[in-house]
Structure 1
């Protein structure tokens, strides 16, 4: 982990560490890492915008999600610029099962649905930061600097999601957080046949 960034809150929130096998897979798939990272930034912005359109009466949510969407789109642009510089074509990749696997556990009606989606968002943002930190020390200087800079700007996102989840819940969210942390750990630790930014470790040969 980068020494100058405090990830204590993130590491305490996540149920497990990224397996070492995923780190090795990331280093073996540099193009897929960048392409799927770009996809993740774009999808994160899309999630924020969707929440803004759906919950127009929640001013705090509108403010937080507007800022988050702007930042995620800026990061998307930055990844695209790195890809262009390195001659990596932006092509279609199938989605990881991670985000959908988390959200399948969300309740079907509000306010529970909103609370659960926000908790999922917190886990996704926290996991992204943890993975930035895990791979940064193994990358070339340009990518290491870029991923470390993302940590500095994105490490607060999971707290924004959690704060909103508690604000819009009529009861403590601890049980729902525990429920989704268990799902998240299973998705992170169980093997995946294809490498993605949020995939599990590769299937053993």
Structure 2
């Protein structure tokens, strides 16, 4: 099932450096953990869209566009966090296309806008797909506490610009690449239809991590590439990310570390 994706996955494995621990796969493939896995995956898709929207609002668009963008993910946030709505989102994720204006200060702002808009659309579509799977299996949609994974990287973000932006883009790349690696590693152990679904996500997730790295390089080149070495910073975050997914973790999530206890069913 994964053979045709070998060329796509090879650079992801090299970028990440460390593979998902086998103990995580053993926990993830247990039928009693399917609900936790799917619900957290759904949350991850929303968080990915929110993170991309944050980058657009903070760095790439004017104030009017930033206010407009807030409404893009609101129906999804209402459903997940406020229990508002029935999980039917219609065309809400397509309504803002072409209505956002990039700030003129930097040429890369338009590319941030274009790439992040595409990413938001795809992540919200994936959110809806995972939700459909959850509902079709009569599983419960519940709130979950955030895992340590993203926060464990974000605390290393530098506090001055454009270094902070570069770091956030690199973190986005690692999150997307790790998702892709886990989809590929887990898919063979799942029921056939669910395994096919995870394999279907590989191509878009692989492109997302590449988009983030390309943007980080553009920001560095547009400011001071001698001062902001993206390659060196990627290596630093690789060590941080690898430690997070390899270290013992008692909270089983889609991006958690090596499980130390059996995950509790929701």
Are positions 1:53 and 2:104 aligned together?
no
Moved over 3 A (4+): none
Partner of 1:185: 242
| Number of positions where the alignment pairs a residue of Structure 1 with one of Structure 2 | 205
Partner of 2:115: 64
CA distance in 2, matches of 1:49, 1:88: 29
Q: What runs of 5+ residues in structure 2 fail to find an aligned partner?
A: 62-102, 104-108
RMSD: 1.2
CA distance in 1, matches of 2:183, 2:46: 17
Query: How do residues 1-205 of structure 1 correspond to structure 2 at under 5 angstroms?
Result: 2-5=2-5, 6=7, 7-28=9-30, 29-55=33-59, 56=61, 57=103, 58-169=109-220, 170-171=224-225, 172-203=229-260
Other structure's SS at 2:29 match: helix
Shift in Å at residue 153 of structure 1? 2.1
Q: What runs of 5+ residues in structure 1 fail to find an aligned partner?
A: none
CA distance in 2, matches of 1:102, 1:194: 17
Calculate the TM-score normalised by the size of structure 2.
0.75
- Contact 1:103 1:117 (C-alpha < 8 Å) held by counterparts: yes
Shift in Å at residue 15 of structure 1? 2.2
Calculate the TM-score normalised by the size of structure 1.
0.97
Shift in Å at residue 110 of structure 1? 1.1
Shift in Å at residue 94 of structure 1? 1.2
Shift in Å at residue 204 of structure 1? 5.5
Structure whose alpha-carbon radius of gyration is higher: 2
